Chains A and B, each alone.
Chain A
Amino acid sequence: MIRLEGVHKAFGANRVLQGIDLAVERGESLVVIGGSGTGKSVLIKCILGLVTPDAGRITVDGLDVRRAEREAFLARFGMLFQGGALFDSLTVWQNVAFRLMRGRERRPRAEARAIAIEKLRRVGLAPEVADLYPAELSGGMQKRVGLARAIADDPAIIFFDEPTAGLDPIMSGVINALIREIVDEMGATAITITHDMRSVREIAHTVAMLHGGLIRWRGPVAQIETSGDPYLDQFIHGRAEGPIEAVR
């Protein structure tokens, strides 16, 4: 279980997180929604230890993330970054197998390549893609490679940061379906950050809305239409009028 208690984070005068309390159960797929700049990415970076909170406590299965041994802690996570974050200088299979070829659990090169090709197949990419470089792929293919890298070591927890950003509707649907299948198949705990309401409906078991540095609403995805929360209503229906100020 992932638990955040009273997490604060500010960048200068910009107080992004102002006391986040959130718990994610094992096997749960939580989607975090909220406007741009509300701290959704900062939230998952705090969990991963990429950003250090100013106050509060974050635990994963009861272990404080600041006290955990980094390599073992991070080995439990997979992450799909918004822009893919693939390493330009490495081929596709080397990107996917990056973790497999390093660290204490290092696998032989041939085995790592075989696993990478199997994960690429799992996300719908042919083995021929394995020896290409990321710059030779389309945006949708790069997302799939990023997804394959995120699941390469069968992590217990997977984070998806804007998985459909910049993709056409058909490719967005494909990525959403893949994420849902993979999370269900692996039984992984997932936290997804998105603005895309279609992704919310296709990926989420539960939804949390971040606004004003706090979790504004949290509940099952089936209840988002009937929550009665004016902030959530405005966000999910994309209305310019409402309690959330829209800069025009």
Chain B
Amino acid sequence: MSAALAPLVATGRATRELLAAVGAIARFAGATLGHLLRPPFYPRELGLQLIAIGYLSLPVVGLTALFTGGALALQIYAGGARFNAESVVPSIVAIGMVRELGPVMAGLMVAARVASSIAAEIGTMKVTEQIDALVTLSTDPMKYLTVPRVLAATLAVPVLVGVGDAIGIMGGYLVGITRLGFNEATYIRNTVDFLEFWDVASGLVKGAAFGFIVALMGCYHGMNSGRGAQGVGRATKRAVVASAVMILAANYLLTEVFFTS
């Protein structure tokens, strides 16, 4: 093969590998959805995952939302001052949080915390033959490990988004009344008056989609982990990176669908 063709060959190989990975993830997602509907179900595992993914993520999501809401208020105030529109701070903070920043920040924080944890746990189970042990004990790893995690994340992340939205708006409110001189009652009225049901609901739907992505990526990369500590480390890194990129891509697509049609 001539050296001139080497870049083409490399590009072709990378494209083929990318398409193969997309296909494998799509098959994994399909299998997960199929198992969601067929027994046996593992409610205890689902409960444990709801706590691990939802409840234990509350502090990190809450803190992120609080600071994001505060920073957003400062930015909008500074930007709005250029054309005498400082009064839009409450409404823009509220809309920005519930439509975009709440779901995206919650999704990314859960990706960092949960996708890595799921991939590392399942990857370690794979390299220590615990997945094989599950099979020999007549238990399907997809049903026992993947389905409870994916379902729990899909249910829990919208709740985290809702809580994050409220805390983020509160962050903007605190900055608004303490640093920017807003009247408390006016700030709250402007926040409530400008928010519509679909603003909030669209963010919650995004949260469900992001939760599904995070858990799916964690499980997929864990189940396909390489051998040894390096293999598990690589699976963990891939799960976090893939989750983050897919969350941002899905966010764009969902925004197109929800707000431009």
- Write the B9-28 contact mask toward A (1 if CB under 8 angstroms, else 0): 00000000000000000000
Which chain B residues have a beta carbon within 8 Å of chain A's beta carbons?
A: 40, 125, 128-130, 132-133, 135-139
A98 touches B137 (CB 8 A): yes
Q: How far is the CA of A49 from the CA of B138 in the complex (A)?
A: 12
Q: A81-B129, A83-B129, A87-B130 are in contact. Are A48 and B40 (CB under 8 A)?
A: no
Query: Closest 10 A-B residue pairs measured CB to CB?
Result: A85-B133, A85-B129, A74-B138, A99-B137, A79-B136, A81-B129, A71-B138, A85-B130, A98-B137, A103-B138
Count, A-B residue pairs, CB within 8 A: 48
12 contacts between A and B (CB under 8 A): A48-B135, A74-B137, A74-B138, A81-B133, A85-B132, A86-B133, A87-B130, A87-B133, A98-B137, A99-B138, A102-B40, A102-B139
Q: Which residue of A lies closest to B144 (CB)?
A: A102
A50 touches B132 (CB 8 A): yes
- A198 beta carbon closer than 8 Å to chain B: no
Q: How far is the CA of A33 from the CA of B130 in the complex (A)?
A: 24
A50 touches B135 (CB 8 A): yes
Q: How far is the CA of A49 from the CA of B136 in the complex (A)?
A: 9
Residues of A within 8 A of B40 (CB): 102-103
- A75 beta carbon closer than 8 Å to chain B: yes
- A227 beta carbon closer than 8 Å to chain B: no
Q: How far is the CA of A102 from the CA of B134 in the complex (A)?
A: 11
Whole-angstrom distance between the Cβ of A87 and the nearest chain B Cβ: 6
Q: How far is the CA of A1 from the CA of B130 in the complex (A)?
A: 27
Residues of B within 8 A of A71 (CB): 138
B136 touches A48 (CB 8 A): yes
A102 touches B138 (CB 8 A): yes
Q: How far is the CA of A59 from the CA of B132 in the complex (A)?
A: 20
- A93 beta carbon closer than 8 Å to chain B: no
B139 touches A98 (CB 8 A): yes
Whole-angstrom distance between the Cβ of B50 and the nearest chain A Cβ: 15
Not counting A74-B136, A77-B136, A102-B40, a sample of 12 additional A-B residue pairs whose C-beta atoms are within 8 angstroms of each other reads A48-B136, A50-B132, A71-B138, A81-B129, A81-B132, A82-B129, A83-B129, A85-B128, A86-B133, A98-B137, A103-B40, A103-B139
Whole-angstrom distance between the Cβ of B243 and the nearest chain A Cβ: 22
Whole-angstrom distance between the Cβ of A15 and the nearest chain B Cβ: 20
Whole-angstrom distance between the Cβ of A125 and the nearest chain B Cβ: 19
Whole-angstrom distance between the Cβ of A102 and the nearest chain B Cβ: 6
Whole-angstrom distance between the Cβ of B205 and the nearest chain A Cβ: 32
Whole-angstrom distance between the Cβ of A52 and the nearest chain B Cβ: 13
Q: How far is the CA of A115 from the CA of B135 in the complex (A)?
A: 21
